[in-house]
Amino acid sequence: MTEFQDGPGNGGSGLDGSSTDRIIEGFARINEKVDAMRNQRLNDPDSLGDKAVKFALPSIAGFVAGKLFTLAWNKFVARKRPSDGTGELGDGVVDQQESLFMSILFAALSAAVGAAVSQLSDRGSKALVARRHRRQSD
Q: How far apart are the first and last CA of the chain?
A: 63
Predicted local distance difference test score (pLDDT) of residue 76: 80
Which residues have a Cβ under 8 Å from the Cβ of 20 and sit 6 or more positions away? 6
Digit-coded pLDDT (tens) for 80-136: 544 555 555 455 555 666 678 888 888 999 999 988 998 999 899 888 888 887 887
Amino acid at 91: D
The CA distance from 100 to 136, in Å, is 54
Q: What is the 3-state secondary structure (H, E, C) of 47-68?
A: CHHHHHHHHHHHHHHHHHHHHH
More confident residue, 44 or 52: 52
Predicted local distance difference test score (pLDDT) of residue 123: 92
